[in-house]
């Protein structure tokens, strides 16, 4: 499958991407732990079938020191012992916030209570916004058939630094 469209070669898409990257930088610089940011982004990307974003977040997480075991087990996190209670709450929110069409009530009260037990207002805000952002990024990449496999860790930080 070849990419359908290069978003970076189109003026409108490029202008949008700059603003999107700026919003993502706000989240990157938030107090939400980087490991949680990468795990949540990876899980949503897996659910959405976004090879480009799975590739990116696996490599960024690994470069930041995340273990291979945890990265391999993100897709089955409920059936593991390697994630903290706080990480499990964030992964549950990521799944429920990504699979909105699968449940008529969206995010459950139980999941929300777990998130609020572990994350203060700023971390909760960052987590909610992150889930929205990664779902948007997944959709952009899937619609245009962006392939996974060629991402190099640090590329996003380098692009954002140029903005």
φ/ψ region of 2 (left if φ > 0, alpha if ψ in -120 to 50, else beta) reads beta
pLDDT at residue 163 above 80? no
- The pLDDT assigned to 162 comes to 66
Task: Using a pLDDT cut of 90, give the percent of the chain over it.
Answer: 75
Mind listing the pLDDT tens digit for each residue in 19-67? 999 999 999 999 999 999 999 999 999 999 999 999 999 999 999 999 9
Q: If DSSP states are collapsed to H, E and C, what string results for 24-83?
A: HHHHHCCCCCHHHHHHHHHHHHHHHCCHHHHHHHHHHHHHCCCCHHHHHHHHHHHHCCCC
Check residue 154 and give its pLDDT: 82
Tokens for 92, please give them.
């549950």
- DSSP code string of 85-147: HHHHHHHHHHHHHH-GGGSTT-S-HHHHHHHHHH--HHHHHHHHHHHHHHHHHHHHHHHTTPP
pLDDT per residue as tens digits for the range 74-120: 999 999 999 999 999 999 999 999 999 887 778 999 999 999 999 99
pLDDT in tens, 122-138: 999 999 999 999 999 99
Cβ atoms within 10 A of the Cβ of 96, count?
19
């Amino acid at each position: 499958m070849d990419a359908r469209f290069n978003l970076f070669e189109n003026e409108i898409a490029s202008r949008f991407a700059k603003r999107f990257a700026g919003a993502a930088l706000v989240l990157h610089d938030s107090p939400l732990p980087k490991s949680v940011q990468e795990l949540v982004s990876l899980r949503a990307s897996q659910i959405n079938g976004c090879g480009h974003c799975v590739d990116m977040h696996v490599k960024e997480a690994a470069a930041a020191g995340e273990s291979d075991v945890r990265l391999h087990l993100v897709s089955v996190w409920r059936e593991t012992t390697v994630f903290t209670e706080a990480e499990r709450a964030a992964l549950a929110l990521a799944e429920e916030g990504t699979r909105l069409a699968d449940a008529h009530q969206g995010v459950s009260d139980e999941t929300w209570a777990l998130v609020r037990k572990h994350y203060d207002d700023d971390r909760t805000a960052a987590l909610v916004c992150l889930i929205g952002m990664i779902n948007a990024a997944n959709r952009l990449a899937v619609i245009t058939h962006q392939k996974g496999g060629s991402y190099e860790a640090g590329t996003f930080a380098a692009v954002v630094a140029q903005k």
